[in-house]
A and B are shown apart, each in its own frame.
Chain A
Amino acid sequence: MTSRASARQDFALGALHSLPVVAGAVPFGFLLGSLAAKAGLSPLDMGLMSALVFAGSAQFVAVDLLGKGTAGLAVVGAILLVNLRHLLMGATLEPRFRGVSKARAGLALFFMTDEQWALALRRGQELTLAYWYGVALTLYLAWLASSVAGTMAGALIADPAAWGLDFTFIAVFLCLLAGFWRGAGSLPPWIASAAAALGVHALSPGGPWHILAGAVAGGAAAAWQSRLGRDGVGEGGAS
């Protein structure tokens, strides 16, 4: 049957197109795993988290907070905040999922990561579910395997702070932050967030409230910016 053959072809093409992303995701997953081991997660804990949540930035945030002994509910809240951007990304994919049943779309969208979204958009009108899953399953397996392998290896490192490895989280978060840079217009929300976070952190160090304060201040600054009009500081600039 030609449709089945073309589905297989689309799946293979999706898997092929995801390989450059895999090359970037594997060291990232390995790094996450080694930090998770330091935070006290077992390979099984890490594997379940990667399999269920499947969101890189959010998992780094979660592991960092878990390592600091943050309450579970606050960790879930932080995961939600980091993943709020999915709402906007998913909205842009809506036309592509119009002919697909709710159940199928719900399952396919479970796999929507930043990279999945970018590859799907680039595919344009030619996007099929087979292509989607070719990308999704390759990334999923690579993420699962590398984060679990990292946890197993990371458990062998005795004292990470002696090697400056406590700085790893800061470096990772700054790299992730660089990925969100959209020109000078990105700065006001970030400055607002830093100011609010530092203020709240000074009042209640150790608590997760400075994260919420930063998120709210940053969101408010961005909303205010857009209300001022897009003629402000380099809105929508080069990236």
Chain B
Amino acid sequence: MIPDAMQLDWSLFAVALGGALVTWLTRIGGPWLITRVRLGPAASAALEATPGAVLVALVAPSALSRPSDALAAAFVCLIARRVPMVVAVAGGVAMVVLLRWLL
């Protein structure tokens, strides 16, 4: 099935608009905040750790759902900082296909 290129889902559009608004607020919020509030080291550390924590929370349940996927995930972690992202993703997908077949 090939969806019509110009098809617009209004509920998705609402999500995009909401996402755009909160994203823009985080972008203009930094300079605004820094002149008004002095963030303590603990609050800064928490804010800085949030994106990584969100990504971990997103992958943990599915990455640890089967041994093959967990091993492939470990493989991606090993190569992620050494090769371009597209290569790491392709390598991870190839690895998971192999491991699911083996295990």
| A contact set with B: CB distance below 8 Å | 24, 27-28, 31, 37, 40-45, 48-49, 52-55, 57-58, 61-62, 64, 66, 72-73, 75-76, 78-94, 97, 105-106, 109-110, 112, 152, 155-156, 163-165, 167-178, 180-181, 186, 189-190, 192-194, 196-198, 201, 205, 210-211, 213-215, 217-227
Find out whether the CB atom of B53 lies under 8 angstroms from the CB atom of A174.
Answer: no
Q: Quick one: which of B12, B17, B20, B42 has the most chain A CB within 10 A? A: B12
CB distance from A68 to the nearest CB of B (A): 10
Find out whether the CB atom of B13 lies under 8 angstroms from the CB atom of A215.
Answer: no
A59 nearest in chain B by CB position: B19
**In chain B between 50 and 103, which residues have their CB closer than 8 angstroms to a CB of chain A?**
50-64, 69, 72-73, 76-77, 80-81, 84-86, 88-89, 92-94, 96-97, 100
Q: Which of B54, B56, B77, B81 contacts A61 (CB 8 A)?
A: B54
CB distance from B45 to the nearest CB of A (A): 4
Task: Give complex CA distance A183, B63 in Å.
Answer: 22
Instruction: Report the tally of A-B residue pairs with Cβ distances under 8 A.
Output: 298
B72: A residues at CB distance < 8 A = 167, 170-171
Q: Which of B34, B39, B51 contacts A82 (CB 8 A)?
A: B51
Task: Give complex CA distance A178, B76 in Å.
Answer: 9
Task: Give complex CA distance A88, B96 in Å.
Answer: 36
A45: B residues at CB distance < 8 A = 7-9, 12-13, 16
